[in-house]
A = this chain, B = another copy of it.
Amino acid sequence: MTRPTARAVAEATGVSRTSVSFAFNDPSKISAETRRKILEEADRIGYAPHPIARMLTNGVTNTLGLLLPQPIPEILENPYYNLFLRGVGQVCHREGLTLLLTPPLRGSMLTAIPYAAVDGFVVTGLDVDRGEVAALQRRRVPFVLVDSDAPEGVPSVDVNDHGGMVSVLEHVLQLGHRRVAILSFESGRDRPDAGYRGALARRIAGIIDALAEYNLALDSPGITLLEVPCTRAAGYHAAQQLLTQPDRPTAIVALSDILALGALDAARDANVNVPTQLSITGFDDQPEASYARPQLTTVRQSIEAKGRVAADFLVAAINGDVQHPHQLLHTALIVRESTAVVPARAAGRRGKGAVCSTAG
């Protein structure tokens, strides 16, 4: 019942364990006949070199680790990660590597690291504030940071979150919308006052800057910021809430397509026409965005490219490349069918409201 070892093959074949190893790893060092005998016996008893012993000796696992911020089932619910995984998977395919999904252990991403048999990590969703990067560096394991705030000495991949957010919000404001709900995914901050980090921080900054051009701010009347879990259902419920408010928003700017699609569902069920009565925008440009009806106006980023570039950087780092490349991928505003000029009635109401408040 116990696994066959090289010793068993060696004894049955009458050769040394060295020869058995050579049969698998360097056939040029033994005779063809010896090799044939060894492989035949190995096949017969089901022997293959123990992968872990081999990894220990060779110091190579041929496995890329993907350090995740949430348990695997939650990660896979998010289409974002599906695309990201594909990008990483492309590199795995090209390089002949396996991919280890490494969720947090006892609630901590860092704790999971020393248990993973990998050559390096692609790190996504890490809160990089409190010494996490330093801890990672001390481990002497190659890694690449994605969508974080990477310090100089660490390879990293990001997208132009700030620019993307500015462009979509400008688009909405140009259409005349002034009652705008920002639908954000949860920040993963420990405390509400901890401040935003990484990609989300850059998107929020983009929102603030775009609003400022119109003399608005996050706390201006008519501007709302909601944080919800990053699921279609959460987008649905948040939008449902918003649509029942007396002075409901004329535009919902979501920080993720999945949230925007949920909002689209809610509008349909509430018989609110998009875009004539309500504009909705997303972020990501996932395939779903163009399958939706109306097709979603959104910010395109190539999530797949992000995964691919991150894995490329990791492979380079594993191969001893001492560069620490930072790549910033571009974003682009994709205007489709889900945005339109603010409804006349709402614009009128807005005017009236402004007069009222001036009078009051």
Quickly give the copy total for this chain.
2
Within 8 A of B (CB), among A321-341: none
Any B CB within 8 A of the CB of A36: no
Interface residue stretch chosen among A87-95, A143-151, A210-218, A251-259: A87-95
Contact with B along A24-66 (1 / 0, CB 8 A): 0000000000000000000001101111110110000111000
Q: Which of A96-104, A174-182, A277-285 contacts B (4 or more CB under 8 A)?
A: A96-104
A105 at the interface (CB under 8 A from B): yes
Chain B contacts for A115, CB-based, 8 A: 51, 62, 98
Task: For chain A, residues 60 to 94, give those with C-beta under 8 angstroms from any C-beta of chain B.
Answer: 61-63, 71-73, 75-77, 82, 85-86, 88-90, 92-93
CB of A337, distance to nearest CB on chain B (Å): 15
Contact A46–B139 (Cβ < 8 Å): yes
A135 interface residue (CB < 8 Å to B) = yes
Say if the beta carbon of A345 comes within 8 Å of chain B.
no
| A36 CB → nearest B CB, Å | 19
Q: Is the CB of A140 within 8 A of B2?
A: yes
Encoded as 1 (CB less than 8 Å from any B CB) or 0, chain A from 194 to 221 comes to 0000000000000000000000000000
Per-residue CB proximity of A129-148 to B under 8 Å, as 1/0?
Answer: 00000010111100000000
Q: Is A223 an interface residue (CB 8 A)?
A: no
A8 interface hit (Cβ, 8 Å)? no
Q: Is A191 an interface residue (CB 8 A)?
A: no
- Counting CB contacts under 8 A, is A246 at the interface? no
The docked-state distance in angstroms from the alpha carbon of A112 to that of B93 is 13
A48: chain B residues at CB < 8 Å are: 113-114, 139
A137 CB, min distance to chain B CBs, angstroms: 8
Interface residue count on the A side (C-beta < 8 Å)? 51
How many angstroms from the CA of A86 to the CA of B90 in the assembled complex? 21
Residues of B within 8 A of A135 (CB): 46
- For A73, the chain B residues whose CB sits under 8 A away are 86, 89-90, 93
- Cβ-based interface call for A1 (8 A): yes
State whether A52 touches B56 (Cβ < 8 A): yes
Question: Considering residues A77, A100, A113, which has the most beta carbons from chain B within 10 angstroms of its beta carbon?
Answer: A100
Known: A114-B48, A139-B48. A93 touches B71 (CB 8 A): yes
**Chain B contacts of A138 at CB under 8 A?**
45-46
Using Cβ atoms and an 8 Å threshold, which residues of chain B touch A53? 56
Bound CA span A52–B99, Å: 16
Chain B residues, Cβ within 8 Å of A117: 51-52, 55, 61, 63, 117
Query: Using Cβ atoms and an 8 Å threshold, which residues of chain B touch A92?
Result: 71-72, 101, 103
Complex formed: what's the CA distance from A49 to B56 in Å? 13
B93 x A51 contact (CB < 8 A): no
21 contacts between A and B (CB under 8 A): A1-B140, A4-B140, A46-B137, A48-B113, A48-B139, A50-B56, A51-B116, A55-B117, A72-B86, A72-B90, A72-B99, A73-B89, A76-B86, A93-B103, A96-B105, A98-B100, A98-B102, A98-B112, A100-B100, A100-B101, A101-B101
